[in-house]
Structure 1
């Protein structure tokens, strides 16, 4: 679910959308308003924990703009990957 609204204190901020993958690789799509990709990362991690109960994050992709407005070939502005002790599935 995406909630749209007017934000009076959003001067200098922009919309970021992201894909947050939990440790078990469940995907959560989240939109936030932030002044930087790093700030968006922190907000997305917090929202994933509070809204969906995610306690361990494995991978995060963050893009500029909304989920609906993202181009199919858009490149992320920030990537974060948590290392694991699991063997690679690539062989």
Structure 2
């Protein structure tokens, strides 16, 4: 789902925007101690998927050269805290 790279606060504007306008939005979901929207997104997606399909969803991380190892470690730790121990990792040397 392409909107899963947006802050919750900007979703209404992103959804109302044209495809060309959507390219101008900042990409990234906060996942720090003071604003952890990423954990909320993950928990909500697990809940919705399990309600629909009655099993745990598959998760994937798409990373390019801008993602540091420390950031990747933080994200995998966040997933593991929510019981997700298997996920795909897709990397690319080019920036997305």
Q: TM-score, normalised by structure 1?
A: 0.30
Between Structure 1 and Structure 2, the one with more helix by share is 2
Considering Cα pairs closer than 8 Å and 6+ residues apart, tell me whether 1 or 2 has the greater RCO.
Answer: 1
Q: TM-score, normalised by structure 2?
A: 0.29
Higher strand share: 1
